[in-house]
């Protein structure tokens, strides 16, 4: 950092609204030091690292300075920064200022806008930005598609999100793991097992290996929809694929057994898992305790479990 930059940083850090204003401070610095673009960028980098409250105000003032030579990436960065703090009004004002300078939106800045509107739950504006991006005639990438898909998921427009996912897959463009997982989770929480199964299959087509959490979301979709047998089949497929089960998956398959009053099958599974070194965790244990209490056989089952040597994270009694 040059001496002129250090001088400005010292003034910013010591700045007090009672003793002046940011525009006057920066104007004086510009007049006395004749900064170059690299100087402004050094100051921005330092302010951002410090998470300084004057970062945005200094940046916006710099955009009006000829010495800064602001370009569209500078505007993208500041808009993205506002979006991260959910300051939509300031982001939109910066966008307007950019357009007033004759700079046109490109794919990068439109993607940032889609992401911003998506997080704020404004699907209409996100869709508008996406359509504007399409009009640019550029090849949409996974980040652009991912942003608009997440906007639809947050708005609970799952069918539209899946259509967009299929649209990009048709172009051999595959979304990131987090996008697939978000859509799978949304279907799972609704108990839409068909949708969950489609996305689960799409995950594998995209070359993403399912883990225990992804499998758990599929199993949950079947449990929520009351399809106990399908939940057990999904759990069995998971184990045969060599995916290590977690407590959530065990608890879900126990819930499936409970739906059909298959206590013996549940205990047989637990014994089998114990033989593989998998201990029932808290969630699975809690479910078993409640199940036993409903049956009124807490003490009897506790004796059986002890005789079988079955270990649980939580005691039955």
What local confidence, expressed as pLDDT, does residue 26 receive? 93
Query: Which segments within the chain are labelled E, that is strand?
Result: none
Three-state secondary structure of 24-44: HHHHHHHHHHCCCHHHHHHHH
What local confidence, expressed as pLDDT, does residue 308 receive? 47
What local confidence, expressed as pLDDT, does residue 285 receive? 84
- What's the topology of domain 178-275+287-316? 1.25.40
The answer for residues whose C-beta is within 8 angstroms of residue 113's C-beta and 6 or more apart is: 79, 83, 91, 95, 105, 125, 126, 129
Whether pTM exceeds 0.85: no
122: left (phi over 0), alpha (psi -120 to 50) or beta: beta
Among 45, 58, 59, 65, CA closest to 15: 58
3-state secondary structure of 280: strand
What local confidence, expressed as pLDDT, does residue 129 receive? 93
Phi, psi at 312, each rounded to 5°: -130, 150
What local confidence, expressed as pLDDT, does residue 317 receive? 45
Contact criterion met (CB below 8 Å) for 284 and 252: no
What local confidence, expressed as pLDDT, does residue 302 receive? 63
What local confidence, expressed as pLDDT, does residue 19 receive? 77
Taking the chain (317 residues) in runs of 10, the rounded mean pLDDT of each run is: 91 88 93 93 94 93 90 92 90 92 90 91 94 90 93 96 95 93 98 97 94 97 97 96 93 95 90 86 85 76 56 48
Task: Take residue 172 and report the two structure tokens written for it.
Answer: 């051999």
Task: Take residue 67 and report the two structure tokens written for it.
Answer: 């010495």
What local confidence, expressed as pLDDT, does residue 288 receive? 83
């Amino acid at each position: 950092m040059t001496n002129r930059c250090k001088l400005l940083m010292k003034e910013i850090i010591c700045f007090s609204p009672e003793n002046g204003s940011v525009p006057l401070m920066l104007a004086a610095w510009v007049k006395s030091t004749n900064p170059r673009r690299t100087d402004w960028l050094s100051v921005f980098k330092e302010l951002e690292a410090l998470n300084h409250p004057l970062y945005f105000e200094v940046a916006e003032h710099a955009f009006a300075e000829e010495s800064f030579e602001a370009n569209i990436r500078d505007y993208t960065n500041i808009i993205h920064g506002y979006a991260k703090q959910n300051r939509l009004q300031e982001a939109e004002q910066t966008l307007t200022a950019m357009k007033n300078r004759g700079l046109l939106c490109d794919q990068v800045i439109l993607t940032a806008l889609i992401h911003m509107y998506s997080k704020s739950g404004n699907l209409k504006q996100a869709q508008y930005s996406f359509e504007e991006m399409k009009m640019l005639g550029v090849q949409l990438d996974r980040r652009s598609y991912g942003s608009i898909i997440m906007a639809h998921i947050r708005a609970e427009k799952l069918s539209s999100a899946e259509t967009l996912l299929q649209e990009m897959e048709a172009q051999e463009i595959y979304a990131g793991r987090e996008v697939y997982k978000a859509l799978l989770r949304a279907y799972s929480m609704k108990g839409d097992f068909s949708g969950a199964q489609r996305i689960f299959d799409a995950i594998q087509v995209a070359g993403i290996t399912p883990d225990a959490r992804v499998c758990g979301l599929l199993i949950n979709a079947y449990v929520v929809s009351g399809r106990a047998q399908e939940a057990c089949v999904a759990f069995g497929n998971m184990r045969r694929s060599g995916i290590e089960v977690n407590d959530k998956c065990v608890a879900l398959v126990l819930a499936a057994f409970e739906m059909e009053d298959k206590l013996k099958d549940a205990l047989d599974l637990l014994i089998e898992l114990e033989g593989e070194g998998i201990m029932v965790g808290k969630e699975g244990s809690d479910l078993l305790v409640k199940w036993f209490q409903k049956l009124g056989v807490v003490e009897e089952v506790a004796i059986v479990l002890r005789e079988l040597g079955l270990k649980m994270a939580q005691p039955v009694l």
